[in-house]
Structure 1
Amino acid sequence: MDPISVKFYFFDSDNPNIDDAFDYIRRDLIDHGFIPMVIRDGENIIQVTKRPKQRYFGNIVNLILLVATILSTMYVGSQYSINFVPKGAYYELRLWGYGFLFFSAPLLLILGIHESAHFLVARKHHVKASLPFFIPFPVGIGTFGAFISLRDPLPNRKAMAEIGAAGPIAGFITALPLLFVADYFQNVVKPIPPAYIPFKVTFPLIYHLFGLNTNFTGPIFPMVFAVWVGMFATAMNLIPAGQLDGSHIVRGVLGSRANILSYVFLAFLFAIGFFYTGWWIIAIFVIFTGLVHPPALNDYSKISGLDIALGVVSLIMFILTFTIIPIKPA
């Protein structure tokens, strides 16, 4: 006989440290092909099921995608550099060099550190995860971003909140000094007339908070745009809906009560989509990836003051980086 699942009953009085005990057996069971889950529905149960067999890509795929994304962001960056690179010898080479130095490098640094932070904190909680997958796309910003694949279920609310918050916080901290470097180049590197201005961006609150240059009438310097994209990616990831980082954070901090917030923010995305249609695309993506965040294996575990602080910090970052109309015609 091969049962689908096995249930073990327990009493809280016999298990005062049930959260630690469960995490200990979780690590052992998952390594042996089983997934345990705490269920409190009138009775206290640990239900153990067989883990479905899965196949994963080798790291060579991560490397190929990274190289392709470097090339695609270099190309896009070179197009944004046309207004700043004078024609002459090795013009195309200098364009690509500008594209790498002032667009591809800062953008992929922010995205890479964001995903690496997810990876490292997942490993800290003994949750297996892939290396970052970068997605090349040779128009727009040269990439659809990056992601890591969590190969284990999230064990508890604490891990859920900390893994979710690690990426946006690390990416935000990385982007902060680059804001000032990019602002310096925007002020000292003059565009070559006649300047071509394909679009304008709306700068979020953090730019005004630091008194950065947001009122220039000429074309945007490639590095300014790259760092702006990094900040916009932070805001987008912090939306508390679907499988976005913000959803991990609020589900970890608030538990099942976070489901209400997911519906509220879905309605918010559809509402602001009348001002910028890109939000409708995000809303549809959220729906297709699952609006309600699945629970942790131990969804009844306690969270610490640090985890609540991470939630507050994430909210502040969202306020500082979010704009309703991020891009508009020139």
Structure 2
Amino acid sequence: MFQSVRVENENMDKVIDIVKSKINTYEVLANPASMKFLFFDSDNPDINTQFDELRKILVPMGYIPFLVLDVEHYVEVGIRPKASYRSNKVNLIMLILTLASTIYVGSIYASSFVHPGTFAEEYKLLYGFVFFSLPLMFILGIHETAHYIVARRYKVNASLPFFIPFPYLIGTFGAFVSLRDPVPTRKAMAEIGAAGPIAGFLAAVPLLFLAQYLEGIFKPIGNYIPFILNYPEIYHIFGIVEPSNVPIFPMVFAVWVGMFATAMNLIPAGQLDGGHIARGILGPRSYILGYIFIGFLFYLTITYHYIGWLFLALFVIFMGMAHPPALNDCEKISRVDIGIAVFCLVMFALTFTALPIKP
């Protein structure tokens, strides 16, 4: 659970004093890797709150506490492995590169909507920015910002969003926020995981209608149809029907990508947002659901011959199917969190499509 490193004597007394100031213990067991503080339930009627206060003190000091409620009840404190993080300049560089790649890709889709002329190339880039890069980056940015805000609300240190440029098809591999502190509770794990998809989804919904409105204004003048999109259920619920025999308006595609990203992130496996939600709500047995969905992705790959699902399944497996527990993995989940998980399940049903793109 912890790195095998020696606890320095001069720090041991300080850690013991801090733990005992928050939790009433009856015995302390020390070894080279960690210290265990055993306690009785009757002496600690509000152990979840007590442990969270302790966590907020010890984690910034370089220690990681775990709450264990088993045959014996105890808090185990180990030394946190040292880690170095990249400066925010990396975030800025990746943001600029992703803006450039999405503008470039968007300009390709915009070519069917720009009249030939002296400034045609400039207009393509402008359309690529306004009608593709901007709405797509807005949806992704709202998604990752929500993760960041909820993580900070739980006093979990998180990085600014890292955007990943990819100058092909959709212009990006998405974005992510790196949690630099361990997640304190299952509740925090579920809510941090759910915050991004919910915020991104709510940001994308009004853009569905704006994209359809603008599509009616900007008529195609070319015949470039690189692929045909299959639209998820939310389009049919709102009565939005997109023609498949005309070029795709860049903003329509950008919003579709946002919806598709929501569905992918909500798959309850591994380190995806859905994996965080499942681990928070279901606890240690959530891995069963993860393996079921990985099998489902392989089934879709074989049935629909869509290689994207295979890449996603392999990516999840490569990143790790086992999900680390929260520091307090014993706290019960509230009805509110169950409701959030159900809403995420509904979002998945509304945004998922088995065969997203047909050539």
**267, 290, 293: which is aligned to 2:320?**
290
AA aligned to 2:256 is W
**165, 168, 181: which is aligned to 1:152?**
181
* Counterpart residue number, 1:279: 309
* Counterpart residue number, 2:48: 19
- Larger mean CA deviation between 92-101 and 250-259 belongs to 250-259
Contact 2:228 2:244 in 1 (8 A): no
AA aligned to 1:225 is F
For residue 216 of structure 1, report the CA deviation from its aligned partner: 4.3
Contact 2:270 2:317 in 1 (8 A): yes
For residue 290 of structure 1, report the CA deviation from its aligned partner: 1.0
AA aligned to 1:220 is I
* Counterpart residue number, 1:173: 202
Inter-partner Cα distance in structure 2 for 1:77 and 1:228: 13
Inter-partner Cα distance in structure 2 for 1:72 and 1:216: 25
AA aligned to 1:184 is Y
Inter-partner Cα distance in structure 2 for 1:16 and 1:302: 15
Partner deviation per Cα, 1:199-256 (whole Å, 9 max, x = no partner): 0110000000000122342011000000000000000000000100001111111112
The reply on whether 1:10 has 2:36 as its aligned counterpart is no
For residue 92 of structure 1, report the CA deviation from its aligned partner: 1.0
Inter-partner Cα distance in structure 1 for 2:60 and 2:138: 33
Match of 1:83, SS? Answer: helix
Contact 1:74 1:103 in 2 (8 A): yes
* Counterpart residue number, 1:190: 219
Match of 2:204, SS? Answer: helix
For residue 17 of structure 1, report the CA deviation from its aligned partner: 1.0
Inter-partner Cα distance in structure 2 for 1:184 and 1:249: 35
Question: Comparing both chains, which one has the higher relative contact order based on Cα–Cα distances under 8 Å and sequence gaps of 6 or more?
Answer: 1
Taking structure 1 as the reference length, the TM-score comes to: 0.97
For residue 306 of structure 1, report the CA deviation from its aligned partner: 1.2
For residue 54 of structure 1, report the CA deviation from its aligned partner: 0.5
For residue 40 of structure 1, report the CA deviation from its aligned partner: 2.8
Inter-partner Cα distance in structure 1 for 2:40 and 2:247: 66
AA aligned to 2:132 is F
For residue 78 of structure 1, report the CA deviation from its aligned partner: 0.2
Inter-partner Cα distance in structure 1 for 2:236 and 2:39: 55
Match of 1:263, SS? Answer: helix
Inter-partner Cα distance in structure 2 for 1:15 and 1:41: 15
Contact 1:130 1:151 in 2 (8 A): yes
For residue 104 of structure 1, report the CA deviation from its aligned partner: 0.1
Inter-partner Cα distance in structure 1 for 2:202 and 2:297: 26
- Larger mean CA deviation between 92-101 and 273-282 belongs to 273-282
Mapping 1:97-246, distance limit 5 Å? 97-193=126-222, 195-246=223-274
Contact 1:262 1:292 in 2 (8 A): no
- Larger mean CA deviation between 298-307 and 27-36 belongs to 298-307
Inter-partner Cα distance in structure 1 for 2:140 and 2:347: 16
Inter-partner Cα distance in structure 1 for 2:322 and 2:213: 43
AA aligned to 1:166 is A
* Counterpart residue number, 1:95: 124
- Larger mean CA deviation between 27-36 and 8-17 belongs to 8-17
For residue 263 of structure 1, report the CA deviation from its aligned partner: 1.1
AA aligned to 1:141 is I
Contact 2:263 2:347 in 1 (8 A): yes
* Counterpart residue number, 1:269: 297
Match of 1:203, SS? Answer: coil
AA aligned to 2:253 is F
Inter-partner Cα distance in structure 2 for 1:273 and 1:298: 38
Inter-partner Cα distance in structure 1 for 2:45 and 2:238: 49
Match of 2:286, SS? Answer: helix
* Counterpart residue number, 1:313: 343
Contact 1:165 1:246 in 2 (8 A): yes
Inter-partner Cα distance in structure 2 for 1:198 and 1:87: 20
Inter-partner Cα distance in structure 2 for 1:324 and 1:152: 36
For residue 13 of structure 1, report the CA deviation from its aligned partner: 1.5
Identical residues among aligned pairs (%) = 60
For residue 66 of structure 1, report the CA deviation from its aligned partner: 0.5
Number of equivalences: 328
Contact 2:186 2:328 in 1 (8 A): yes
Contact 1:7 1:45 in 2 (8 A): yes
For residue 86 of structure 1, report the CA deviation from its aligned partner: 0.6
* Counterpart residue number, 2:21: none
AA aligned to 2:280 is G
Inter-partner Cα distance in structure 2 for 1:22 and 1:214: 53
Inter-partner Cα distance in structure 2 for 1:19 and 1:326: 44
The reply on whether 1:76 has 2:105 as its aligned counterpart is yes
Inter-partner Cα distance in structure 1 for 2:269 and 2:225: 34
For residue 41 of structure 1, report the CA deviation from its aligned partner: 3.2
